[in-house]
Amino acid sequence: MGRSPQPTAQAFDSPALRRLRTDLGTWAEALGFQALGVAGIDLTEDERRLKRWLEEGRHGSMRWMAAHGSKRTRPAELVPGTVRVITARMNYLATTQDEALSNLADPARAYVARYALGRDYHKLIRKRLQKLADRLSEEVGPTGYRVFCDSAPVMEKPLAARAGLGWTGKHSLILDRRAGSWFFLGEIYTDLPLPVDAPTSAHCGSCRRCIDVCPTGAITAPHQLDARRCIAYLTIENRGPIPEPLRPLVGNRIFGCDDCQLVCPWNRHAQRSKEAAMAPRESLRTGRLADFLGWSEERFLRETEGNPLRRTGHTGFLRNVAVALGNGPPSDAATAALRGRLGHPSELVREHVRWALDRQARNA
């Protein structure tokens, strides 16, 4: 934890803790978070669901999902002394929905998940949460805590739901009636027995737009996601070839997929981010597939410095772009770009380039 647990954490009476909970929300808002909640640490039901999901192999090659045993679902095992989880959310949407849909409909352009258009969010949110934890320590004295943002085995979505930040939508993302789902989550594990917030009720009703729109059928039922079919997994976490039957379904998406969020009725209420760090990089916002395939590794590293796309590596990036070009209409620019990569050192890239050229030839 951030500091060694001290007896003072137990010295606060209920009124003091309630005031502290109220203050936390005020401090979080000043730090750029749009909402904050506090959850208990009993994730028994979520642990059962995770175990079933892992047993069915739906995590694909993401072995780390099972690597930490029960630490993911038992916060006090990950950080001894934890009795509460403070969860905060920060909006990230920096483009309009119409722009995203227009981008998705243009087969010559690359579609990048909206969260990945600006700077990498991990450091930003961890730094803000650290400031929040420091402010908390200034108020109460030394306490035990640890800050997370997608950086450890943490069940961030179930914890956010239990903290009242929203409900779990049928696409498995957290939804809020006032904010939709375009937001990041971060957590502070703490030994302070803060009052917990009440979960919110679900408001998806009979709607199944997210299920029906999923390009690859990865949402197999309400709240059931098969990562092995998810375009976010296929283009980011997956380090090998994209399964051939799924390639035509990827479309022009080269990093992640937002379809389930773009059709969600609750996202009509989503608020645009005011964070400068979330502002889209123009090269990613307007980039064309044929140009992207020509990027050298040096240029890829330069353009993606401090950006989530760096996660794919240059080879994975070229793999994804080749597939997207293969899914587009035949053109001289696409063919020339693909032929220029037939001699790439990686067989992973070459195989996807050959597939794309074959698609281009058959559709000519």
134: number of Cβ within 10 Å: 14
Rounded CA-CA distance 184/334 in Å is 35
DSSP labels, 203-271: --TT--HHHHH-TT--EEETTEE-GGG-HHIIIII--SPPPGGGHHHHTTEEE---HHHHT-GGGGGPP
287 residue type, one letter: G
Q: How far is CA 229 from the centre of its chain?
A: 16
Residue 21 tokens read as 């909970």
Q: Cβ distance 173 to 181 under 8 Å?
A: yes
- Would you tell me how many other CB atoms lie within 10 Å of the CB of residue 101? 15
State the Cα–Cα distance between residues 322 and 210, nearest whole angstrom: 27
255 closest CA partner among 232, 278, 237, 239: 232
Q: Which residues are catalytic?
A: 150
The H-or-E segment that residue 189 falls in is strand 183-190
Alpha helical stretches, state H, the chain:
14-30, 44-55, 64-67, 75-78, 97-105, 121-140, 156-162, 209-213, 231-232, 247-250, 259-262, 282-285, 289-293, 297-303, 313-326, 332-339, 347-363
CA 169 to CA 113: how far, in whole Å?
Answer: 19
Cα-Cα end-to-end distance for the chain: 60
